[in-house]
Amino acid sequence: MRRIALPSLAGLAVLAGLGLAIASPPDAIQGEYVRILYIHVPAAWLAFLAFGVTAFGSIAWLVRKTERWDRLAAASAEIGVLFTGLALLTGMIWGKPVWGTYWDWLDARMSSTALMFFVYLGYLALRRATPDPVQRARRSAVLGVIAVVQVPLVYFSVSIWRTLHQGMTVTSDGIAMDGGMVAALFVNVAAFTLLYLALLVQRLRLARAEAAAAPEFEAIAGSTVSEPRLRSGS
Amino acid sequence: MTNSWVLAAYLITYGLIGLYVLSLRSRAKRLARERRDQE
């Protein structure tokens, strides 16, 4: 029952988000292009959340040394990379008709997000390149704690450096948007949050199955290393 | 949603999420098959 409930709930929320994204009013300046906001912003916010969970799992592993925290950190990082990639792609698609360019390396938000994307790709590569499970967990936990520093840096980059990307829409002073747009944005944020949770549950289930399926030697030395043949009598 | 840029953004987003779900499922199926073969 629980296995079906979360993905179904996420699916329904995505449909509701799509409905509101279609029904919301066009922007006075950007027109229809503003509808990209309803997937671009939730993807970026959920990437931040995913990397926050990775940092939490990493700290928990460093304190408790329990395998499940390492699995949580890794699973969340993988989904965070997916959401960051989506934020970058949708941002590029949005940028072309509105700014006249897909990409600008001098823009603080774009460059810092791209850097964050590659650092977390490096995190996943580091995990694949380290066969020993304890060493893998330790190295990736340290990186998971250090790399999360980029999240506030990316978030506040539009306030620190005023470049091409627009400033923050949601601030402590309120939201500078029409009510219909705010509703569409927050329903899509809720949908992406449920989507993240559903993906995390599925990824964790796979990680548990992978750990259970790994033979004892592979669990220690990694699947790329073959078991040495010992000569009898030596 | 008739705008082609908007449509492209939505198709890429949900298409990639769908592909990720399919990859998780196929990895889980392969693991289950391997475990069955070993038994």
Name the token pair of A174: 């309120």
- B19–chain A nearest CA distance, Å: 11
Q: What is the mean pLDDT of residues A122-148?
A: 95
**H/E element, A58:** helix A37-64
Whether A213 sits inside 8 A of B31 (CB atoms) is: yes
Give me the residue from A90, A199, A213 closest to B13, CB to CB. Answer: A90
- Report the b/e string of A130-160 with b at 16+ CB within 10 A: beebeebbbbbbebbbebbebbeebbebbee
Q: What is the mean pLDDT of residues A184-207?
A: 97
Q: What is the mean pLDDT of residues A155-177?
A: 79
Q: Which residues of B touch A33 (CB under 8 A)?
A: 3, 5-6
Q: What is the mean pLDDT of residues A149-153?
A: 96
- Lowest mean pLDDT, pick from A76-85, A112-121, A225-234: A225-234
**Sign of dihedral through CA atoms A154, A158, A164, A169?**
positive
Full pLDDT tens readout for chain B, 39 residues: 568 999 999 999 999 999 999 999 999 999 999 888 887
pLDDT band at A233 (very low <50, low <70, confident <90, very high): very low
Whether B1 sits inside 8 A of A21 (CB atoms) is: yes
Instruction: Return residues 7-26 of B near A (CB < 8 Å).
Output: 8-10, 12-14, 16-17, 20-21, 24-25
The whole-model pTM stands at 0.88
CA distances from A124 to A79, A179, B34 (A): 11, 40, 24
CB–CB contacts below 8 A, A to B? 67
Whether B13 sits inside 8 A of A22 (CB atoms) is: no
What pLDDT is recorded for position B37?
Answer: 85
Q: Which residues of A touch B13 (CB under 8 A)?
A: 39, 43, 86, 89-90
Supply the mean pLDDT for chain A: 89
Whether A209 sits inside 8 A of B28 (CB atoms) is: yes
The DSSP annotation for A181-219 comes to HHHHHHHHHHHHHHHHHHHHHHHHHHHHHHHHHS-HHHH
